[in-house]
């Protein structure tokens, strides 16, 4: 009988209930506070490993890399609990013929709403107003004058589930002009999401706000840096709810201090949570949250359901609904037949 080992928990209890209510697959739990030896002893019994998506929440020895896979040649599936997969070296998995799956789309609504909330807060300067009142403030109201989002240009980097939903909200609710950069989508996908397919440099130069919705990988690490920020329209805003390390925090701080950008909304960080002394948190025009965009009750339930359903479907002989490295599917199928 196939065996699934999960680390600590799933995003919500409903997924665990689904896994434990069936009898076709064994379910084992790994505790991240246990020793490496004990954790590996459990994983050696497993065919699939369900791991958290946030790298700062998973011990290094339980993150999936080349050395980890060498110790556990029995694994044929690695499942991330979120849309991201920072704790998984996908290239190493592909080299080993191990299938990687994620739960993309599961928290898209939560993250998209959070991104739009940050955009509105920046345009209306709600964070700055809040800070001013808490300090004690008696200035002319016009000193905190904001802007309307209506009819503005929104640039979206990554037009997938989340970016596409941000585009939809901004277009329908605020009649925004949507510019999008995503080299992996067909022209038809841009049309369906009411977005204009745009080169990155043009998007940066013409957008009143840029919102980032892409995974962290070798291609995107440090993708948004000093060069990118300088190309952005003066007085525009930068928002990211994707992954830390895609944008360069030092470069963002410098460009904000220079006054080139009007503000930033940050849900993701190089190290999470960021220390209270982080220099970006010192800036009045920065709105911050600790990677909580997708942490809603609805999103967690949906992601947990996605985790359980996809893993159980895989061990029922079906193809994955959300593969990260589909190029290994033939190898995966051969390994699955041997179980």
Q: Which of 77, 2, 13 is nearest to 301 (CA)?
A: 13
Residues 129 and 263 in one domain: yes
The pLDDT of residue 147 is 97
Determine the pLDDT at residue 56.
Answer: 85
Active-site annotation, residues:
243, 272, 291
Q: Do both 174 and 276 map to the same domain?
A: yes
**Cα gap 287→263, rounded to integer Å:** 8
Same domain, 124 and 268: yes
Please check whether residues 55 and 147 belong to one and the same domain.
no
Q: Give CA–CA dist 105/162, Å, rounded.
A: 7
CA distance 213 to 211: 7
Q: Residue 135: give the domain boundaries.
A: 108-288
Residue 246 structure tokens: 């895609």
CATH code of residue 82 = 3.40.50.720
What pLDDT was estimated at residue 153? 98
**How many other β-carbons are positioned within 10 Å of the β-carbon of residue 22?**
12
In 10 A of CB 220, how many CB atoms? 18
Tokens of 228: 């990118």
Same domain, residue pair 46 and 34: yes
- Asked if residue 116 and residue 102 are part of one domain, the reply reads no
Specify whether 229 is located in the same domain as 330: no
pLDDT along the chain (339 residues), means of 10: 94 96 96 95 97 90 97 97 92 97 95 98 97 94 96 97 97 98 94 95 98 93 97 98 97 98 98 96 97 95 96 96 96 93
Distance CA 199, CA 206 (A): 11
Query: CB of 203 within 8 A of CB of 181?
Result: yes
Q: How many other CB atoms sit within 10 Å of the CB of residue 196? A: 15
Q: Is 283 found in the same domain as 199? A: yes
pTM, to two decimals = 0.91
Tell me: do 147 and 257 sit in the same domain: yes
Q: Are residues 84 and 130 in the same domain?
A: no
Cβ atoms of residues 14 and 301 within 8 Å: yes
Whether residues 219 and 84 fall in one domain: no
Residue 196 φ then ψ, to 5°? -90, 125
Q: In the chain, how many domains are there?
A: 2
Residues 92 and 135 in one domain: no
Q: Which of 288, 305, 326 is the last residue of a domain?
A: 288
- Cβ–Cβ < 8 Å for 167, 119: no
């Amino acid at each position: 009988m196939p065996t699934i080992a999960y680390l600590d928990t799933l995003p919500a209890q409903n997924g665990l209930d689904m896994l434990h209510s069936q009898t076709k697959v064994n379910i084992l739990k790994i505790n991240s506070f246990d020793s490496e030896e004990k954790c590996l002893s459990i994983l050696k019994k497993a065919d699939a490993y369900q791991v958290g998506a946030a790298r700062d929440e998973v011990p290094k020895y339980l993150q999936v890399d080349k050395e980890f896979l060498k110790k556990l040649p029995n694994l044929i599936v690695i499942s991330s609990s979120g849309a991201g997969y920072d704790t998984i070296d996908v290239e190493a998995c592909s080299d080993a013929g191990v299938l990687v799956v994620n739960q993309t789309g599961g928290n898209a609504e939560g993250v998209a709403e959070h991104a739009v909330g940050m955009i509105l807060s920046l345009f209306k300067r709600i964070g700055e107003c809040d800070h001013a009142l808490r300090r004690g403030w008696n200035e002319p109201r016009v000193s905190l004058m904001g802007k309307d989002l209506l009819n503005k240009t929104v640039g979206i980097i990554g037009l997938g589930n989340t970016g596409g939903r941000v585009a939809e909200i901004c277009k329908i609710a605020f009649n925004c002009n949507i510019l999008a950069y995503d080299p992996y989508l067909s022209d038809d996908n841009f049309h369906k999401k009411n977005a204009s397919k745009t080169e990155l440099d043009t998007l940066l130069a013409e957008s009143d706000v840029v919102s980032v919705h892409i995974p962290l990988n070798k291609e995107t690490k440090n993708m948004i840096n000093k060069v990118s920020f300088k190309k952005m329209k003066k007085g525009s805003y930068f928002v990211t709810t994707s992954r830390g390390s895609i944008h360069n925090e030092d470069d963002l701080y410098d460009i904000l201090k220079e006054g080139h950008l009007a503000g930033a909304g940050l849900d993701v960080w190089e190290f999470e949570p960021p220390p209270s002394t982080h220099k970006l948190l010192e800036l009045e025009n920065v709105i911050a949250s600790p990677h909580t965009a997708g942490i809603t009750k609805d999103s967690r339930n949906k992601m947990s359901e996605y985790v359980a359903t996809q893993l159980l479907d895989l061990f029922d002989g079906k193809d994955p609904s959300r593969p990260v490295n589909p190029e290994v599917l033939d190898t995966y199928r051969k390994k699955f037949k041997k179980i």
